[in-house]
Every structure is written in structure tokens, then in C-alpha cells.
Chains A and B, each alone.
Chain A
Amino acid sequence: MKLLTLNFLTCARKTCKSNAAAFPLHPKEAELEQVETDMNPLFIKNILPRLDWEAMKTLTTELGLPNLPAETPSDEELATDGEPSQTAKDLHTLLMETSIQSGKLVCGNCEHEYAVKEGIANFLLPSHMV
């Protein structure tokens, strides 16, 4: 599961839907994997305004990754002389190439743990929890 996806994922339980603590989910015993992919600068530009930067910062801290800038990088910071900037490359590495291979994702509200195996998170809920 890419860190990009984690920035959009919430607890699946109905009772957590409107609770602020149900996002972001918190990684636990996470094994990270780095997989190189082609950079898609336009996608980075498109998704940037939709990222929850506070959640991104929380996540990198919890995973022990380098600290992020205090604010979401601006559009202008993504390119220098028409080429992807270092900032854009760093975002690509963080969002698109870094993924949780195994571990758990924990809801901050109900404390339900979603298991991640082979990069796939299990969001199936037993019927009493739906």
C-alpha cells in the first residue's frame, strides 16, 4: 500500500465515519518497501492540493521517515526550468514509491486493526462491526 493511498484511507466502520480520529489510520509494525516507478509529474501536481499534509507529516513521523516541510509545497516548487524539481522527486519517492508491505493500520477512534499482507490491506469487516 503506497503512502499516497494511506493519505486517503479512513476506517471503514460506520460509527467512525464522522469522527476526526478515524483519519489518518496509524501504521503499526509496518514493514516498508521501496519500489522504483516512472515519475508522473502531472499526477503529482494534480494530487498535491488534495493531500492532507498534516496527515502526511504524522505518517512520516510514525514511520520514522525524514521530516516533511511544515506546509504543503506549492505548485511553483514542483518544477525548475520546466523540469521536475527536487521537491517533486522527493514527493514522488514518498507517495508513489514507498509502500507498506506488511503490518497493521489502526483506527485512532475505534482502535480496530486492519491487517496488511503483501501490500494489500484487509478491510473486510465482520457483520457486527459494519
Chain B
Amino acid sequence: MSRPEDNLPPDLFYNEKEARQYTTSSRIRNIQADMTHRALELLDLQEPSFILDIGCGSGLSGEILSGVEEDEGGPHTWVGMDISSSMLAQALERDVEGDMLLADIGQGVPFRAGSFDAAISISAIQWLCNAETSDVSPEGRLKRFFDGLYASLKRGGKAVCQFYPKNAQQRSLISNAAIKAGFGAGILEDDPETKSVKVYLVLSVGGGDVTGAVS
């Protein structure tokens, strides 16, 4: 199976039909929900927090953030960024509670310093590695993104980015870009060496490796 990000930029791949399929497929919803819960567990937020959802899509993760119970430290307030207007249209239709920006994370993160308690990203950041034109490189996009993300988080803030690296090289390209931006970084793998392996880049502002599992 070819990977969508090999062929098309995400704003073209997720046209209206794809966006609808993505949001309504119950298999995708379940996987995405599981990964969001896992990311929340890794963030370990104790109080209602202000969270940036990177590549928020149709708001599937956001709904979970809004729905965290009081006795589990929620509910959280989130702002989402996504490059696909069809995905955001789906989110509007579903009446999600967070705010959303139509934006390309490879162009940066347009929030002032120390805005967010935490950030979450599900299946999005591998898209940063496909640069469509000759004047933008994957390295340049990764740098803009991680520099912006680092600045937008408060001190002690954390980010958990689940992603699908194409290969080992892309995986280290991404994690090295995060480290270069100043993050304490670790990679955590669930179900390693299986077909359903899940890779989480766990980042902290002003801390070392937070997972104890640097690869």
C-alpha cells in the first residue's frame, strides 16, 4: 500500500470525500481514540489545561480532550491547527468545542511564547517531511515547526506526537529536529515489531528524556 503522504500534500489528499471517510470509518476512529488516550496518559495532566492539537483534523482527538472528567484532571480546552479545510469543515459539522486554525504547521506555530500547557499530535507530523517545492526542504519545515512548538509551550510543558515514520531515517530526522529546537525528547513504541506498532515522540520543555526510552 502506498502512503498518502508520498503522493500528495495533506491539503490535497484530504479532499471532501477522504475527510468524510476518515471521520466516519469506525476503525480509524477507534485507533485514533486509543492513541489520543495514550497520549493523554503520557502527558499526565493534573488540572484543566490549555492544549494545542497539531493536525487536529475533524476534531476526533479534541472531543476526547474536551471530555476528560473533572476527577481525571479535565476537561481541557484546546486549539487545533490543520492544513485541510475539508477536515475542519467536518469538525464544524460535528460541533466540537475547540477553536481551530487553517494553518500549515511547517510554516510555524503562530502563538506567543508560553501559551500552552501541553500539545498533542496524532498521525500528523510525518507530513512535515514532504516538501512540495524546491524552495522548502523537509529540514526547513521541521525546524519551523519544532522551534515554534517549543516557544509556544510553557516551561515544564510537554508534547506527545504520535506519528508514522516511513523508515528509520525519517524517524531520526524528526526526533533530531525536535532535539535541535531544545526539547528533551524520547521515543516510545507500543506494540514494537508488530504491524500495529505505534510510535510516540514525547517532548518536554526544560527537561531531559521523559520516557527513559531514547532510541
B92 within 8 A of A: yes
Check B50–A47 contact: CB distance below 8 A: yes
Check B102–A122 contact: CB distance below 8 A: yes
Chain B: minimal CB distance from A36 (Å): 12
A78 within 8 A of B: no
- Residue-wise, chain A 1-25 has the 8 Å CB interface mask toward B (1 for contact) of 1101100111110100000000100
Check A123–B99 contact: CB distance below 8 A: no
Check B50–A46 contact: CB distance below 8 A: yes
B156 within 8 A of A: no
Query: Which residues of chain A in 30-63 are interfacial with respect to chain B, using CB atoms and an 8 Å cutoff?
Result: 37, 40, 42-43, 46-47, 50, 52
- Inter-chain CA distance A2–B96, complex, in Å, is 13
Across the interface, which residues of A come within 8 angstroms of B188, CB to CB? none
- Residue-wise, chain B 132-152 has the 8 Å CB interface mask toward A (1 for contact) of 010110000000100000000
> Contacts A23-B112, A40-B48, A46-B50: A120 and B107 contacting too (C-beta < 8 A)?
no
- Residue-wise, chain B 103-115 has the 8 Å CB interface mask toward A (1 for contact) of 1100110111011
Check A127–B133 contact: CB distance below 8 A: yes
Residue of A nearest to B83 (CB): A124
- Inter-chain CA distance A56–B150, complex, in Å, is 24
Across the interface, which residues of A come within 8 angstroms of B129, CB to CB? none
> Contacts A46-B48, A125-B107: A37 and B112 contacting too (C-beta < 8 A)?
no
7 smallest CB-CB distances across A and B, nearest first, come from A123-B103, A43-B48, A12-B110, A8-B115, A5-B99, A122-B102, A42-B48
* A residues lining the B interface (CB < 8 Å): 1-2, 4-5, 8-12, 14, 23, 37, 40, 42-43, 46-47, 50, 52, 96, 99, 118-125, 127, 130
